[in-house]
Structure 1
Amino acid sequence: MSLSRALPPVAVAIGLALLPPPSGLAPNAWHFFALFAGVVTALVLEPLDVAAIGVIAITLTALLAPWTLFTAEEMAKPGFNAASAAAKWAFTGFGDSTVWLVAGAFMFALAYKQTGLGRRLALWLVRALGSNTITLAYAVALADIALAPFTPSNTARAAGTMYPIVSQIPPLYKSEPNSPTAGRIGSYILWVTYASDCVVSALFMTACAPNFMARDFIKKIADVDLTYPQWFFAAAPFAIPLLIAIPFLTYLVQRPSVTKSPEVTVWANEELEKMGPLSRNEMILAASVSFAIIAWIFGGSLVNPAIVALAVICVLMMTGALNWKDIAGNEPTWTTIVLLATLVAMADGLAHTGFVKWFADSIKGHLVGYTATQVIFALVTIYFLSHYFFSSLTSHTAALMPIILSVGLAVPDMPKTTLAMSLAMTTGLMGIVSPYASGAALPYYRSGYFTSAQYWRNAVLFGLIFLAALLLIGIPVFMARGG
């Protein structure tokens, strides 16, 4: 453990905890937030492995439950057992379906590698468009766009479908994870893939599960029924320019050393000839993944996406395309399960302690005297940036969308359709802001192609760019259309 990196998170947590709680916030909620702030600081500095940080976070919080998780009133209730309740809270994340959907995505990635199908698909992409780094980036983005209207889980799409394929491309250019060659092209192509997916998640209503939740809240609270075409044409003016710009913007901040390699397309064709026809295991994997995609598209009301992923893993194990020893020995899978599960619990704790509600209520008092337009800009900014307190787009939407929407509707002369669309468009974009912002982000963060500092730099920068595009292009267009 690096002492110089361990001290700042401890100092942040203790420093905040020693301050008096803000007015209206219970002491335990403030203490929990202090721990949460310390955890976020630790995730940035990484004095330990990120999974270890997550385990320490929930363990310390559970041990200090009487001062972090529960109010004095809860502690005084007859029959209330703080130790039992704290343990139940600590393990909630491991029962979250998103955690296991992400785990399934990692196992898919392993299967693509073990069977050789990932390499084959990567070689096909490289043969078609790999002579230029920019065209390869657009090919990857277009693949995501093609899947998005029919895949209502950005985690299933970005982590379960795109990541296993895209992660096989860099080694073709001698760009290996966790090595000095990671920046040759790996960092670039993986960041373009994930950043594009966040924008695509905002472009189509059906591209991200929380979009449906946001639409439902908007219909119930604002009496605005957003249709599929209305959603698309609302997002297109800012989303399409962003999708065009992302490969170039990434080129500036995560510049690849490999920019042109015309000979690689010839080499890719030679490698495909050496591989020969699809093997039995490749065909099994291709059929299984196709089934998963179809189930994710059409089976949402019948079966949970995480169960679909696990069902496919079961088929792969039963047919021999993948074996348990490979899964058990795949450290990134288990690290991600632990990290995401602990972050889900920590984010749940913010809501449980009342911090999220206090945060939203605190906003109301600062909006008096401002115009409706100013309030929309302020609420969208607050809604977007508050995602640093969440590890799930769904939990953020569930916790804050009704509150933020209600706050905005209370403002006189508020154009409710513009407010509704502005908040709805924010949902997918928020997934860019941190490595824990969405279940889909973790495979990219843990890919080995980014240092923690690089990922956070990209996340903050692109988060600001995405927010600026929504504020300066999206909202003015909504208002010009008379929303």
Structure 2
Amino acid sequence: MAVPVLAGVVVALLPAPAGLGQAAWYYVAVFTAVILGLITEPLPPSAVGFIGVTVAAAAGLPFSESQRVSPGFRLPAEAVRWALSGFSNSTVWLIFAAFVFAMGYEKTGLGRRIALLLVKRLGHRTLGLGYAVAFADVLIAPFTTSNTARSAGMIYPVIRNIPELYGADTGRSTRQFGTYLMWVAFATTCVTSSMFVTALAPNLLLLDMARTTAGVELTWTDWLVGFLPVGAVLVLLVPWLTFVLHPPETRTSVEVPRWASDALAGMGAISRSELGMAALALLSLALWIFASAVIDATLVAMVAVSLMLATGIVSWDDVLGNRPAWNVLAWFATLVVLADGLNRVGVVAWLGHGTAALLAGHPPLVVMTLLVAIFFLMHYAFAGITAHTAAVAPVMLAAGSAVEGLPMRTFVLLLGFSLGLMGVLTPYATGPAPLYYGCGFIARKDFWCLGFLFGMLFLVALLAIGLPWLEALRG
């Protein structure tokens, strides 16, 4: 508790730098305390964000002196309106709806059935089993904004029992197979988290920041098309490369497909609720891809959730009981407001111009590449992608906006694509990471080494494949 509070106090006591007013600097102090609170978590993240917004609003920090003296301006009313504005943000509600979607996958059993079907078809060989795990994640990813719900909640419970069928356990001499399978599952979910804008909540947060601070509007399809070459290569590469780096002792098994077949038989015939969930998922996907000009993505999700409620796929009690969904709603609503405050008080523009001055004289594409690489590698200092996005993305967007000739649309997409990929770096980088780190199959040293190797691979693929592809689309 003392770390974020003392850091905020120290920043507030320092003199405001040239170009920033005192009120703006006080806002930076509050924002610094909030970000450190999100990293150290003395309280749940949503509580940290709520307190931060309350402090900033009560002190009137997001409002300039000219606003305060303007006719009709009432600080108490405006402060409350600003503090609660995040709850009217469409991106926040899209994230909430996606959590309900994930709950539908889990409650109906559709997510588990998809994973088991792929294991049954491809599980005869170890490498094929790796691809089954990867493809299962790809199929579920567009509809689960939480990679924790997707990988830790749906994929892991299915694959956790498989190593024993190959004769492997967590003992040092026989865990190579488990290392292979668990790392494929973890690394793949980092790739799929970047493949779809709705596969990771911070993706949506960054797009909202880009819209408000840089004026860049992007659709669900823009994101998918932009990442597709990188994503396709990495999804195909991860199982094979892991197989090469950590070759399992056993290469074939008749037991795994048999176990998956028995598990599917135990689930029985596909239920009406599963069929309904599948139909709604496909309908939502089609509307996100083909009807973005007619119906907003958030409204598509709201319609899908309404139909899930009307058809009984989930109940309202299920929604009320989904604590992670409501927690994320409060969390992101406050983060959106706090990021907006940085822009309001002029901090974003100040940082952008300062960074641009330091990088002056370099070609725009070189500057963009450096900023993306710095953004990616800075994640070693963050426990979670949301905190990283809230703290660093506004600075990077401001820096990019201030560089003359820098293609902002391409820059925003590269920053967004890096969010999911950076989750592979450390055992604390993203939600599912601690689960796989502690599963007993991946040695601690191996996790760090694999995280570095795959992290560098992901970054190189993003810049070597993604950047030329996005520039070709732009040209």
- TM-score normalised by length of structure 2: 0.70
- 1:412 corresponds to which residue? none
Q: Does 1:404 align with 2:400?
A: yes
SS in 1 for 2:86: helix
Alpha-carbon distance in 2 for matches of 1:50, 1:276:
40
Quick one: distance in 1 between partners of 2:263 and 2:139?
A: 27
**Alignment partner for residue 39 of structure 1, among 34, 38, 43?**
34
Aligned to 1:314, which of 290, 294, 306? 306
Give the CA deviation at 1:360.
0.9
Q: 1:475 to 1:49 in 2, by over 3 A?
A: closer
Q: Identify the match of residue 8 of structure 2 among 7, 13, 29.
A: 13
* CA positional deviation for 1:334: 0.8
5 Å matches for 1:26-425? 26-64=21-59, 66=60, 68-130=61-123, 135-136=128-129, 138-142=131-135, 156-159=142-145, 164=150, 167-174=153-160, 188=183, 191-200=186-195, 236=229, 242-244=234-236, 246=238, 263-370=255-362, 374-381=366-373, 404=400, 407-409=403-405, 423=411
> By how many angstroms is 1:196 displaced?
0.6
Amino acid at match of 2:306: C
The Cα offsets for residues 149-179 of structure 1, whole Å up to 9 and x where unpaired, read as: xxxxxx954528995587322223458xxxx
C-alpha RMSD over aligned residues: 5.1
CA-CA distance at 1:356 after TM superposition: 0.9
- The AA in structure 2 aligned to 1:46 is E
The code of the aligned residue for 1:98 comes to T
Q: Which deviates the most, 328-337 or 397-406?
A: 397-406
2-side partners of 1:85 and 1:39: how far apart? Answer: 22
Task: Give the CA deviation at 1:121.
Answer: 1.8
Task: Answer with 302-311 or 382-391: which moved more.
Answer: 382-391
Using the alignment, how far apart are the partners of 2:52 and 2:17 within structure 1? 23
Contact 2:102 2:143 in 1 (8 A): no
User: What are the ranges of 5 or more consecutive residues in structure 2 without an aligned counterpart?
Assistant: 162-169, 198-202, 217-221, 424-429, 439-443
Q: Quick one: structure 1 residues 245 and 97, their matched pair in 2 at CA, closer, same or farther if it must change by over 3 Å?
A: same
**Aligned partner letter, 2:195:** V
Which of 416, 419, 429 is 1:428 aligned to? 416
Q: Give the deviation of 1:101 after TM superposition.
A: 1.5
Deviation at 1:111? 1.8
Against the structure 1 CA distance between its residues 87 and 251, is the aligned structure 2 distance closer, same or farther, given a 3 Å change threshold? farther
The whole-number CA distance in structure 2 between the counterparts of 1:327 and 1:383 is 35
Q: Work out whether residues 151 and 432 of structure 2, in 8 Å CA contact, stay in contact via their aligned partners in 1.
A: no
Residues 152 and 432, structure 2, Cα contact 8 Å, conserved in 1:
no
Summarize the Cα distance change of 1:326–1:139 in structure 2 as closer, same or farther, 3 Å threshold.
Answer: same
Tell me the distance in 2 between the aligned counterparts of 1:286 and 1:129: 22
Q: How many residue pairs were aligned? A: 426
Question: TM-score, length-normalised on structure 1?
Answer: 0.69
Change (3 A) 1:243 1:451: closer
**2:431 is the alignment partner of 1:445:** yes
The one-letter amino acid of 2:90's match is S
Question: 2:165 — aligned with what?
Answer: none
Shift of 1:85: 1.5
The answer on whether the counterparts of 1:110 and 1:164 sit within 8 Å (CA) in structure 2 is no
